[in-house]
Amino acid sequence: MPPAKPKAGLVGAARTEVKSIDNQNLLHDSGDNGEDDGAANASTRISAYSDSILTWFKKRNGDTLQGALAFVPWVLQQAYFEGGLAEGQIVIHRGTGAVVFSDASGFTKLTEELATRSNGAELLSQCLQGFFTPLIDLINNYRGDVIKFSGDALMVYFQAVDDTKSPKYKCVVPPHGTYGLPDLGPMATAVLRASACCIEIHKRLHMFDTHVEGVFLCLHIGVGCGNISILQVGGEIPPGTRVRRLEYFIAGPPLEQIRVAEPLAKNGETCLSPQAWEYVKDCVIEGRPLQGRPEYHLLLRMDESKYTFPTIKHAAMENDNRSEKRFRLSELNIIRKYIPSAVFKQIECGTLVYVNEMRNISVIFINGAGLDVMSTKGAATAQELMVEVQKKCYQHEGTLNKFMIDDKGMLFLLVFGLPPLVHTDDPTRAVLSCFDMVKVFKRLELVGRFGVTTGRSYCGVCGSNRRMEYTVLGDCINLAARLMANANEHSILCDEDTKNRCSNEVIFNALAPIKVKGKEGRVSVFQPIKKEAADSIGLGKDRLMRFPWYDHPFASAQVGTGSHGFNSMQRNVQQLCSVKTWFGICRVSEMLGGSFAKSMHVNEQVIQTTGKPPNKAHPQAPPGSPFEVGGVVVLEGQTGTGKIELAEHIVIYAAQRLQILTVFGTMGPRPGDSVRMAVELLRSTLGVYRGLNPGSLPDDDYQALHKVTPQELTSRLQILSVALKDPGVKERQQAILDNALEVVIALLSTLIKTQPIILLLQFEYGTSLFPKSAPDQVIFWNAVSKLTCMVQTEMQNGKAAGRKPLVMMIICRDAEEDSPAVKISKSKNSFIHLSGLTEENILEYMSAYLSVPDNLIPQALRQFVGAVTLGNPRHIRETIDQLLEGNLQVIVGANQMPKQIDVKDIDKINVSSWQHTAMVGGTVCLLESLDPLEAAVLKMSTCFTGTFTLPDLAASTCSRWADATHFDFLRLFNAIRKLVESNIIEKVDDEDEALNGEIVRAHGTMIAGGIAPTGLPLRTSKNGTFGKTQSFQTRNLLIRAVGGAMVLEAQKRSVKRQALIDRALWRELPARMDELAKKRNAQHIPWYYEQAFRRM
């Protein structure tokens, strides 16, 4: 039977919760900062909800708690109950015990073997679970605590605890497990348990069969003991979240011991430090002697005349009381601070199994030295270092995967490309973040070494259901560690893949190839250098216009270096702006008072700044235009829609025809670019001065500023000298920008007495997924507001005072609605929002790009390009370029003129394979940034070529026939609603029941065990129990192609099959159940009684 209609109170409460149901709940409410008081606040509302609601939330939170507990060690939970996790506390635990570091060999080869297989991630995940489950079970049984996973290695803490004082201790068998022998004491017992655990691990897991030919897993282990500290550091909020992220790590003398001990052990061996050996030398049998390090000892086996590992293990388990200090549901917000937010969301949604995958990532390994974290000062410095590293990593939208101290020292592992922070330029982001972090290490007087690599690696959970971590494995990660080890102090080494995939923002110097462990031949190594800012922005000394976006490829089309980049931009301007009916060029031509001419953009145009003023024969800006009276022009639109091409045309036209010169100030696409904006404003303003009065100013910008800056502002120039020497400076950025704005405003006030000026301001956040949370956006619009005051004054009084027009032109993706500049542009009808080209525009643009008459372009090609690109000019260029590689050919006649366009297999093109393009790569990044449930909905929606409904999707995740609740449906509906708001899927009127026929055609004509005609509607009525059933559809061809490529064929068939079954049941089952109920309620007379009655 279909679920009964819920009570009104339940529906009302559910709808109240639906907006936040994916991020918070009754007993687990993360608040603005993810603090602990969320649960307390939520508990005050519990009485307002029915038992049904409480039951649903408690079950959901209980499942989340069970999954989250595996991501935190026991000692962290112990510290919480002992008050060690208080706000601002760095050292959360001090104790003594044994530390074990076990390193596995064979995982790199295993990852390489499986990386090329279509189901490689699944196979590797199964192998990892098969290996780590018994390993972690053994560690737990001996009362070990897995503190950290270091890739395929484990750091384990065996805490020294006096079991004789435990309530569980029965005073019969000593804590070591052998009756009749005296108690060894807490430390010796801890080392003994660690030793016995290592022996059993080797016995059970040595030469572990991975079921991949020639690949076996082995462990080599180091053991140390002594005083231990557990520290927690960090606290910054990652992009796209509201929860502070904390990192914990273990430190102390045992770490120094195992740094020596672990490399001395071969596969299948355990090496004990001298300190650990002193505690167990009478309890174990020593292995082969170590040449050169006789003070370290190999462990062969237990001295079974005294101790055996089964008895040691049994005693450890019998006295284990750690479960008494275990996080409860009320501490769920504490746990999530130590778990990556993306992983926690997967735990909440019950989709953790799907995080395991092979993906292309960029990895940074950082080795830090010069810090003693055991001291009070060292702990404080570690906290400051972690906060700064988190900031630099998060500013570039990366993930800090690990921070630990192991056999290599203090290590950071940063990853760029993990969901949801996936970008097409992750290698560039990784390298640029290294430049920022080098400055952090230098400022803190620490030594940092950096290794950066890019490649395909395993990304997923590693461990067992009892203890796991989200980690990355593969040759790429190992190579980053090797490069880090070979780097000099404060230097960065990169591999060839990183170098090849970086943008032109970074220059690479080739170094001598090096030999690294695990590689047969030598490895090519490169040292990155950040590209210096252009010395000339705006009008140069050669009277050529240098645009700032030539140095920033994410602002427009792919711009290279040198003349190639210039020529490609000019070609884009010529082709796009020559589309006569394009809305953008039409609006701009109206404001400029003249039409577009290709001749202006054929070659680099020399700008005339001296001589006679233009006569009346020259074009003039129309009356009331911003270019005639001053004002604000805003160009808004997504990347690739033509903002840059329009802006370049405006600047060139204004300079050549209207004698208006331009001053530039841009920010982005990288974080912390406010100093660059200040430098561009200063240099381009000086460029105008030099152009108007050649030879009047010295070549040095600082000296030139001193000459033209009013006397009352010369005191501000000292701080600007630092920025002019190094535009990448990170200190006192706000002060530099504020002072630069004051100076520029004063200089512009002087210029516009005789020269009209365009003040072009651009904010571009490139491929960033969470720009709204970035402080740069606030800085930019604050700067715009300050400059707008000057523009408003000139609009009101400038013309009357005989001054020339001052035009502010703003280029951005999303204009700030509350900005005074934006309001002025809208009120004066100079706000231009750019979207996709129309069908007519697309045809004209394709004709210009292919250099063919538009009547030669086949209709099928037009439709395909329009559907895939949605009219985005940049995407149109990329699509045509891809088609020209095999599906599209322009046939030229004898006169070298195009006579035909041959298009083949256009219906078989796999658009999702174009991931190197901004179009597809950007779509992948968009889909990866979705929450788990939204991503699941989108992927399921691509399985339907027609429309679908909420019950169709619920059939595969929370079927109404499988004990699903209305809250499950509401969560699914909320995910659909968010996708609709993001224009990823659309609401449609399903009048023709297209989906029903599509499902039936996909699965034959079998319906509920019977046969029905093809295309038979399964839905008997569009108005169900809860009113009209809304239909949806994923119509965006690009999103369908990319999203569909993320779903296996077996999963697609399953989604459609479940939808078919659900519709069949909804159509047939209620009537059959009603009929059955009638039969049951009807009075039944047995057949033989009926016959007897008839004979009577």
Are the C-beta atoms of 1073 and 1 separated by less than 8 Å?
yes
Q: Please state the φ and ψ torsions of residue 360, each to the nearest 5 degrees.
A: -80, 125
Residue 934 tokens read as: 């939204």
SS3 299: strand
pLDDT at residue number 9: 33
Are the C-beta atoms of 669 and 555 separated by less than 8 Å?
yes
Q: Looking at residues 566-573, what average pLDDT do you find?
A: 81
Handedness of CA 1020, 1026, 1027, 1033 (dihedral sign): negative
Q: Is pLDDT of 554 > 70? A: no
Are the C-beta atoms of 903 and 860 separated by less than 8 Å?
yes
Q: Is pLDDT of 43 > 70? A: no
In whole numbers, what is the pLDDT of the chain averaged over residues? 84
Structure-model confidence comparison of residues 56 and 758, the more confident one: 758
pLDDT at residue number 1027: 56
pLDDT at residue number 211: 86
pLDDT at residue number 738: 93
- pLDDT, one tens digit per residue, over 624-638 is 999 999 999 999 999
Percent of the chain exceeding pLDDT 70 equals 89
What is the rounded CA–CA span in Å between residue 806 and residue 1066?
67
Give ∠ CA 351-453-368 in degrees, rounded to 5.
Answer: 95
- pLDDT, one tens digit per residue, over 1035-1088 is 888 898 888 887 777 778 888 888 888 888 888 888 888 888 888 888 777 777
Per the DSSP assignment, residues forming a β-bridge with 159 are 97
Strands 831-834 and 631-637, sheet pairing: parallel
pLDDT at residue number 8: 32
Question: Pick from 910, 857, 875, 891: which is nearest to 1040 by CA?
Answer: 910
The b/e string for 479-512 (b: 16+ C-beta within 10 A; e otherwise) is bbbbbbbbbeeebbbbbbbbbebbbbbbebeeee
Per the DSSP assignment, residues forming a β-bridge with 402 are 413
pLDDT at residue number 430: 95
Q: For 205, what's the count of Cα atoms within 13 Å in the CB-facing half-sphere?
A: 30
Q: Is pLDDT of 255 > 60? A: yes
Asked if the peptide bond before residue 669 counts as cis, ω within 30 degrees of 0, the response is: yes
SS3 927: helix
pLDDT at residue number 535: 76
SS3 456: strand
With cut-offs at 50, 70 and 90, classify the pLDDT of residue 241.
confident
Asked if the peptide bond before residue 420 counts as cis, ω within 30 degrees of 0, the response is: yes
Whole-prediction pTM: 0.84
Question: Pick from 467, 484, 475: which is nearest to 154 by CA?
Answer: 467
Q: What Cα–Cα distance (Å) separates residue 788 from each residue in 428, 537, 660, 795, 829?
A: 34, 22, 19, 10, 17
With cut-offs at 50, 70 and 90, classify the pLDDT of residue 17.
very low
Q: Is pLDDT of 839 > 90? A: yes
Per the DSSP assignment, residues forming a β-bridge with 1006 are 1011
Among 215-224, 535-544, 563-572, 747-756, the minimum mean pLDDT is found in 563-572
Give ∠ CA 317-320-325 in degrees, rounded to 5.
Answer: 145
Are the C-beta atoms of 1068 and 935 separated by less than 8 Å?
no
Q: What is the DSSP string of 894-909?
A: TTS-EEEEEE-SGGG-
pLDDT at residue number 618: 65
Q: Is pLDDT of 406 > 80? A: no
Are the C-beta atoms of 664 and 684 separated by less than 8 Å?
yes
Q: Residue 50, Cα to own-chain centre: how many angstroms?
A: 38
Q: Is pLDDT of 1008 > 60? A: no
Q: Is pLDDT of 993 > 50? A: no
Structure-model confidence comparison of residues 915 and 103, the more confident one: 103
pLDDT at residue number 544: 85
Q: Is pLDDT of 671 > 90? A: no
SS3 469: strand
Alpha helices in 70-163 (DSSP H): 74-81, 107-115, 120-141
Q: Is pLDDT of 316 > 80? A: yes
**What are the contacts of 618-623 at 24+ separation with CB within 8 A?**
618/657, 618/658, 619/592, 619/593, 619/594, 619/657, 619/658, 620/593, 620/658, 621/591, 621/592, 621/593, 621/658, 621/805, 622/590, 622/591, 622/593
Question: Pick from 449, 446, 494, 530: which is nearest to 729 by CA?
Answer: 530
Q: Is pLDDT of 63 > 80? A: yes
Per the DSSP assignment, residues forming a β-bridge with 716 are none
Helix (H) or strand (E) holding 947: none
SS3 371: coil
Are the C-beta atoms of 593 and 621 separated by less than 8 Å?
yes
pLDDT at residue number 218: 93
Handedness of CA 943, 948, 951, 954 (dihedral sign): positive
Per the DSSP assignment, residues forming a β-bridge with 986 are 1033
Structure-model confidence comparison of residues 1074 and 142, the more confident one: 142
pLDDT at residue number 669: 82
What is the rounded CA–CA span in Å between residue 515 and residue 88?
44
Q: Is pLDDT of 297 > 90? A: yes
What is the rounded CA–CA span in Å between residue 349 and residue 909?
34
Percent of the chain exceeding pLDDT 90 equals 46
What is the rounded CA–CA span in Å between residue 387 and residue 395?
12
Q: Is pLDDT of 54 > 90? A: no
Query: What length is written for the chain?
Result: 1096
Q: Is pLDDT of 901 > 80? A: yes
If you average pLDDT over each of 56-65, 80-89, 152-161, 532-541, which comes out highest? Answer: 152-161
Are the C-beta atoms of 341 and 419 separated by less than 8 Å?
no
- pLDDT, one tens digit per residue, over 771-797 is 765 688 889 999 999 999 999 998 888
Sequence-distant (≥ 6) Cβ neighbours of residue 207 within 8 angstroms:
216, 217, 218, 268
Are the C-beta atoms of 1063 and 1029 separated by less than 8 Å?
no
Question: Pick from 459, 439, 290: which is nearest to 363 by CA?
Answer: 459
Q: Residue 855, Cα to own-chain centre: how many angstroms?
A: 44
Give ∠ CA 507-421-33 in degrees, rounded to 5.
Answer: 125
Q: Torsion over CA of 1067, 1072, 1073 and 1078, rounded to 10 degrees?
A: 140
- pLDDT, one tens digit per residue, over 94-113 is 999 999 999 998 888 888 88
If you average pLDDT over each of 253-262, 550-559, 1042-1051, which comes out highest? Answer: 253-262
**Burial class for 715, CB neighbours closer than 10 Å (0-12, 13-18, 19+):** exposed
DSSP character at residue 544: B
Residue 546 tokens read as: 């240098």
With cut-offs at 50, 70 and 90, classify the pLDDT of residue 891.
confident
- pLDDT, one tens digit per residue, over 501-519 is 998 889 999 999 998 887 8
If you average pLDDT over each of 163-167, 820-824, 952-956, which comes out highest? Answer: 820-824
Structure-model confidence comparison of residues 249 and 1048, the more confident one: 249
Q: Is pLDDT of 1006 > 60? A: no
Q: What is the DSSP string of 1002-1017?
A: HHTTEETTEE--TT--
Are the C-beta atoms of 54 and 46 separated by less than 8 Å?
yes
pLDDT at residue number 236: 93
